[in-house]
Amino acid sequence: VTSLVGAVATLPFGILADRVRRTWTLGGAIVLWGAAMLWSATASSFGELLVTRLFLGAVTAAAGPLVASLVGDYFASSERGRVYGFILTGELLGAGFGFAVTGDVAALSWRAAFVILALPAFALAWLVVRLREPERGGRGFLPHATRPTPRDGDANAEEPRETDAQRLARERGIEPDPALVLHGDPRRLHLIAATRYVLRVRTNIFLIASSACGYYFLAGVQTFGSEFAKEQYGINQALANLLLLVVGVGAVGGTLAGGAIGDRLLARGFLNGRILTAAATAGATVLLFVPAIFTRGAVTAVPYLAAAAFMLSAQNPPLDAARLDVVPPRLWGRAEAVRTLLRSFAQALAPLLFGAVSDHVFGGGRSGLQWTFAVMLVPLAASAWLLFRARRHYPSDVASAAASTGGRYAREA
């Protein structure tokens, strides 16, 4: 229920991300998150605790749209994959810290666990609020970004900067889709119109569907992975947790490498570099999970599991960066909100479907979980297929986003 509330709450935050000062909004959401955690620590009944968790899910929803919009305006297109790698690594490390530290604290006092997680939020909010709000439209690069900032009096200072993907599309004579070129101010589009637009961008549809498939499988692993490891490999809880730690290390490596590889390919002239990186790692993920699922030895499974986690996580940074390439900048917040909504529904369904298939289709137990994980590789394979399909539409959608933004591509196209 909490995740579904958060999914719906992303929509108003997506609107805010495209229209108001984002650093203040994100800082305020972090303060509310910390307050919700403290409220959880003081809950006197299950009903009150449930209300606090629903409120927590709602304010957590601010992160996706606001961060996507800020990343697009803070950082040059050439480094967004690497930046997303750092962001997603932070999410993984934060989740690991939460489980490792608060798990032991919760054994003594579950209320203290909430307090420990809440306190850093207020310091983080103070830092976020003090950040400089970047200019919208991909123009507010940080000083260290690879492209120089325009000087006062520069005739091109008011034009949106051309990204590497847009430059490659223009140089290769790729024409935008007239149906996707926006001629008015995207900020004036209401939510339904904005949703219709972002769902007409074919690359965006493929990326959303692919991401949903990947997160669906990941949610199933998070729910049943420890139980499967104990039953399949004949290990105790302590060893299962250690195995998950190894998998986590592989996931961190994947998030850092995936974004960097996609950026490097784009810089070397491969227009589809980010899509190819995600598609290749998605296909490799399926191949690596097969032996990990069917082997009975933990030692044998470890390299396959670590490599599969690496490949699964390597998809996300280049995909996140590619989404910014195919959507006009002033729609980034709402586009991310729509993606998060659809992805969250897939994540919410995963535990229910994994459990139902294991118990009612394959008879439960070790064998039931084993064959459930095997069958659920089909969505992962579909994810890879969708990404290979996206390669055909990505160049045209990049050109359409560039023409909607204005500047050199719009004039020449």
The number of beta carbons lying within 10 Å of the beta carbon of residue 356 is 11
Long-range pairs, 390-393, Cβ under 8 A, ≥24: 390/202, 390/203, 390/206, 390/207, 390/210, 390/275, 390/279, 391/272, 391/275, 391/276, 391/279, 393/202, 393/203, 393/206
Sign of CA dihedral 205, 208, 210, 213: negative
Three-point CA angle 293, 298, 304, nearest 5°? 55
- Which residue ranges form the domains of the chain, and what is each CATH number? 2-131+196-404 (1.20.1250.20)
Residue by residue, pLDDT tens for the chain (413 residues) are 677 788 888 999 999 999 999 999 999 999 999 999 999 989 888 888 889 989 988 898 899 999 999 999 999 888 999 999 999 999 888 887 777 666 666 667 778 888 888 899 999 999 999 999 998 876 645 655 444 544 434 444 445 567 888 889 999 999 999 988 988 888 888 889 999 999 999 999 999 999 999 999 989 988 888 888 888 888 887 787 788 888 889 999 999 999 999 999 999 999 999 999 999 999 999 999 999 999 998 889 999 999 999 999 999 999 999 999 999 999 999 999 999 999 888 888 999 999 999 999 998 888 999 999 999 999 999 999 999 999 999 999 999 998 987 645 444 54
Residue 177 near residue 395, CB atoms below 8 Å: no
Residue 263 near residue 81, CB atoms below 8 Å: yes
Q: What is the pLDDT of residue 164?
A: 86
Q: Where would I find the H helices in 234-331?
A: 237-267, 273-294, 298-314, 316-326
Q: What is the pLDDT of residue 4?
A: 78
Q: What is the pLDDT of residue 161?
A: 67
The number of beta carbons lying within 10 Å of the beta carbon of residue 190 is 9
Q: What is the pLDDT of residue 138?
A: 66
The number of beta carbons lying within 10 Å of the beta carbon of residue 45 is 8
* pTM of the entire predicted model: 0.88
Structure tokens at 311: 């490949």
Q: Where would I find the H helices in 199-236?
A: 202-233
Residue 143 is given by DSSP the state T
Q: What is the pLDDT of residue 154?
A: 46
